[in-house]
Amino acid sequence: MESSPSFASLAHEALVDSDFDSPNSRRLFDFQNSLTCIKVTPPFRDYPKLRSPSRMGLEGKPNLKIVEGEGGYILEDVPHFTDYLPDLPNFPNPLQDNPSYSAVRQYFVNVDDTVPQKIVVQKNSPRGLHFRRAGPRQRVYFESDDVLACIVTCGGLCPGLNTVIRELVCGLSHMYGVSRILGIEGGYRGFYARNTIPLTPKFVNDIHKRGGTILGTSRGGHDTIKIVDNIEDRGVNQVYIIGGDGTQKGASVIFEEIRRRGLQVAVVGIPKTIDNDIAVIDKSFGFDSAVEEAQRAINAAHVESESVENGIGLVKLMGRYSGFIAMYATLASRDVDCCLIPESPFYLEGKGGLFEYIEKRLKENGHMVIVVAEGAGQDLIAESLRSMHNEDPSGNKLLLDVGLWLSQKIKDHFARIQKMVMNLKYIDPTYMIRAIPSNASDNVYCTLLAHSAIHGAMAGYTGFTVGLVNGRHTYIPFHRVTEKRNRVVITDRMWARLLSSTNQPSFLSAKDIEEAKKAEPQPTQLLDEQKSLEDGCH
């Protein structure tokens, strides 16, 4: 009697058949988020034959592409041209003839390679959620001479923007022989309101040594129809969009409109935020450079504070919603006595408050350094101004200047108690940090992000952003990096290390700690996600 094939072997077959090396092989799962879903369980013989329309769901919810495997394995995949253009031809990857890469053993990514979102598990844990591993595929969906790529930078400045631009241009040119690349000036509105800049390897050769972006940038200006009309009119078929979570939301809408029109245009996001607050990914480019540059301001504050009687050096760093720069700069410096971030509430007056701690520290050391993230303490100062709910053109909340406010509050407190002389120096290096070129580690990271984006676009993937997940470069669906922000977990060991380094009080009440614990992802989150998928499938 012939034995039936195992679940693992069938799952392997299905995954191998699904890596887009043939034009019609990609039809895994395409179900409406929170509306409909298709669940495939063994046997998988007819698995590649499944077809499901790729279109926006009700209320603008994106389609999810889910692959389930043995042991609770879940792959949240990214869109591909063959989802809505099933008869596209594909071609051998020109990298196989590139002398720089032909000597590399197994340079092309294995069709089965995925990257887990969570790597700390227990022995009985499900394998959990995975993302598709980034890298070059053996087959591509563009011929080099047919490619017209464009690059746009949006939002605020960040170290590394010019490096990403340079590596996109040089990677497209040197790896895939692409000769037509345009730079879109001035952010999203540049698609329809500004001229373009032809970009060549020679033109971008030295731009990584400069801060800012040679293409210019802006906030807002997103008009989906105008942008896609311009892309279609110009004949652009690869769009590389560099920006933060708001920019990535805009890129997602552009992709959906392109898919609705049935265009063979790859839309690829490269996440950029100096605050490191983009979800899922390990870190964003420019973050290391920002932390390194922040050391200069902290060192200056330390010199100023210890040079006078009862000196206080107050440094405001970036961190609109997340305090990662302040936390890591504090840990790296070891000269900081107090670090205040948006995730950790604090109070000024009374027992255990900030003023009491400042007095204690000055009596012990004669000086102190305070680092405050720009988003910290907003609830304390909201009543003094009425701009709490104003927003910039990108939809970001306009913050009140906590640095100036806190400086004045400290001065007023010491003037009122008249117990000791106090000298405060306030340093705000925000725009100096944003404008620097990226350091060595960020330059390497920017190169890898750019190359991952290029490989994905050439292989026919679209509607995704690239990012490092647990040390591996991956392709992540847009909605995953825009649905929430990455924030410091104040009940985590890293924040405990900071408290140990500064010797500051937590400023938290028992109620605050309990609420922070409730906000943490629980160890059973993946089990719950899997159960909800199963419950929703009939």
Percent of the chain with pLDDT over 70: 79
Angle at 404 between CA 403 and CA 410, to 5 degrees: 90
The mean of the pLDDT values for the chain is: 83
Q: Do the beta carbons of residue 26 and residue 141 sit within 8 Å?
A: no
What pLDDT was estimated at residue 183? 97
- Residue 286 annotated as binding? no
How open is the CA angle 286-287-290, to the nearest 5 degrees? Answer: 85
146: confidence class by pLDDT, cuts 50, 70, 90: very high
- Please write the tens of the pLDDT for every residue from 478-500: 999 988 899 999 999 999 999 99
Residue 412 has pLDDT above 50, yes or no: yes
Give residue 11's pLDDT: 39
Mean pLDDT, residues 448-465 taken together: 97
Which one has a higher pLDDT value, 379 or 227?
Answer: 227
Of 68, 48, 39, nearest to 129 (Cα)? 68
Alpha helices per DSSP H over 235-393: 245-261, 287-306, 324-333, 354-365, 378-381
113 or 9: which leads in pLDDT: 113
User: 270: pLDDT confidence band, cut at 50, 70 and 90?
Assistant: very high
Q: What pLDDT sits at residue 40?
A: 35
Instruction: Give the global pTM.
Output: 0.82
Residue 76 — pLDDT band, cuts 50, 70, 90? very high
**Mean pLDDT (whole number) for 161-169:** 98
320 is in an annotated binding site: yes
**8 Å CB contact between 200 and 171:** no
Q: How confident is the model at residue 397 (pLDDT cuts 50, 70, 90)?
A: low
The alpha helices in 307-352, defined as continuous H runs, are: 324-333
318 belongs to an annotated ligand binding site: yes
Whether residue 205 has pLDDT greater than 80: yes
- d(CA 354, CA 360) in angstroms, rounded, equals 10
Cis peptide before 42 (omega within 30 of 0): no
pLDDT at 51 over 50: no
How far is CA 33 from each of CA 250, 254, 521, rounded to the nearest angstrom? 19, 19, 21
Q: How sure is the predictor about 399, in pLDDT bands with cuts at 50, 70 and 90?
A: low
Residue 172 banded pLDDT, cuts 50, 70, 90: very high
pLDDT band at 35 (very low <50, low <70, confident <90, very high): very low
- The C-alpha atoms of residue 470 and residue 438 are separated, in whole angstroms, by 22
* 156 is known to lie in a ligand binding site: yes
Could you read off the pLDDT of 220-238 as tens digits, one per residue? Answer: 888 999 999 999 999 999 9
Residue 157, pLDDT above cutoff 90: yes
- Amino acid code (one letter) for 416: R
245 is in an annotated binding site: yes
| Residue 275 annotated as catalytic | yes
Instruction: Record the tokens describing residue 254, joined without a space.
Output: 């552009």
Going by their DSSP bridges, the two strands 181-184 and 196-198 should be labelled as antiparallel
In which band, very low, low, confident or very high, does the pLDDT at 100 lie, cut at 50, 70 and 90?
confident
Q: How far is CA 205 from CA 101, 157, 292, in A?
A: 21, 20, 25
**When comparing pLDDT for 515 and 345, which is higher?**
345
Active-site annotation holder among 19, 83, 275, 442: 275
The answer to whether 498 touches 331, Cβ cutoff 8 Å, is yes
- What are the φ and ψ backbone dihedral angles of 223, each rounded to 5 degrees? -125, 100
Amino acid at 80: H
319 in a labelled binding site? yes
